[in-house]
Amino acid sequence: MSASTSTNRLSPPAAILRHAVLLATGALILVPFVWMASLSLKPPGEIFRASFSFWPAQFYGVENYTKALTEVPLPRYMGNGLVVCVLILGVQILVCAPCAYALAKLHFLGRDLLFGLVLVGLLLPHQVLSLPLFILGYQLGILNTYAALVFPYVVSPFGIFLFRQFFKTIPDDVVHAARLDGLSEIAIVWKIMVPMALPAVIAFSIFSVVSHWNDLFWPLIAVRDQSLMPPPLGIMAFKNEEAGNDYGPLMAASTLVVLPLLIAFLAAQKWFVEGLTGGAVK
């Protein structure tokens, strides 16, 4: 609202200044992305012959990307990332939505206590829990498996919180009507509440997938086998092996790791911004 009046008053020079500054800061922000993409297309000789040019004199993209995809198990890393993200998100929704429904729509002894637990869980940084979770994983004998990557995240206090907030906005009459139709409580969760709370589900899905696709800390602790590494861990292993001398393929691999989320973000910008900052705004 404020903007409309500001816009009317923004004189042409001021408008140009606005664009100039924002284009400059935007360009600075993009430099690492551009440099990464640029190096991923250059042959080693050109990379080490320092130059400003973005576009390679000799196009070496095919070689670099082929190397990144074949000499390193990058497809495997990306597959692992996908499997882990999908598993985590699926289980989180399965576990969190019913609990959120109970907190939002049912009356029962201990509800406030349970909500308190969720809020305290929201406050705990996950890295602090890593040591006991590592020991738990060790006792269960699941370290260095997909299960190790997934189990700490099967419940998300943020997910419960977000779903509860959204479920509360759905009128009680909807729930009563569903009960009169003979739906069980669990059926109400999956057939009524979750479909109606689709915006919250999408926002949470983006939050969850982005956090776990990008997570380095826990995978570093939980798995050792290359065949189980999610993208960040895999690409770090690649960097350490190459000792920084094979920049082209390393940059190609980095580009490929960043690309899926980047494309998704550009396609659904509004949802991403909401999903990733919703926790803070709400």
Partner 1 sequence: MSEPLSLSDTSEEEPATRGVRISSAASPARRRAFAEALAAWTLAGPAVFFLLVLFFLPVLGVFVIALTDWQFGARSLSFIGLANFRQVFADAVFRASLLNTVVYVLIVVPGTIILALLIALLIESGKSCRSFYRAVHFLPFMATLTAMAIAWEALLHPTIGLVNQALAGLGLPTANWLRDENTALPVLAVIGIWQNLGYAMVLFLAGLKGIPQDLYDAADVDGADLWLDRLRTVTLPMLGPVSMFVVIVVALRAFESFDTVKVLTQGGPGHASEVLLYTLYRESFEYLRTGYGAAVAVVFLAIVVTLTLVQVRVMDRKVHYQ
Give the angle 78-28-271 at the CA atoms, nearest 5°: 50
Nearer to partner 1, 7 or 70 (CB): 7
**Nearest distance, CB of residue 50 and partner 1, angstroms:** 5
Q: Which of residues 187-226 bind partner 1 (CB under 8 A)?
A: 189, 210, 213-214, 216-217, 220-221
Q: Which of 64, 73, 37, 47 lies closest to 249, judged by CA?
A: 64
Residue in 129, 147, 170, 183 binding partner 1, rule: CB under 8 A: 129
Interface with partner 1, residue 271, by CB under 8 A: no
**Is residue 119 within 8 Å of residue 111, measured between CB atoms?**
no
The one segment of 25-33, 57-65, 66-74, 194-202 that binds partner 1 by CB under 8 A: 25-33
d(CA 274, CA 258): 20
Residue in 45, 70, 75, 168 binding partner 1, rule: CB under 8 A: 168
**Nearest distance, CB of residue 180 and partner 1, angstroms:** 14
d(CA 103, CA 97): 10
The token duo for 248 is 């082209």
**Is residue 146 within 8 Å of residue 83, measured between CB atoms?**
yes
Interface with partner 1, residue 143, by CB under 8 A: no
Interface with partner 1, residue 165, by CB under 8 A: yes
**Nearest distance, CB of residue 103 and partner 1, angstroms:** 7
**Nearest distance, CB of residue 139 and partner 1, angstroms:** 12
The token duo for 263 is 């494309």
**Nearest distance, CB of residue 24 and partner 1, angstroms:** 11
The one segment of 55-63, 89-97, 142-150, 194-202 that binds partner 1 by CB under 8 A: 89-97
d(CA 256, CA 253): 5
Interface with partner 1, residue 232, by CB under 8 A: yes
d(CA 43, CA 48): 9
Nearer to partner 1, 63 or 91 (CB): 91
Burial of 248 (0-12, 13-18, 19+ CB in 10 A): buried
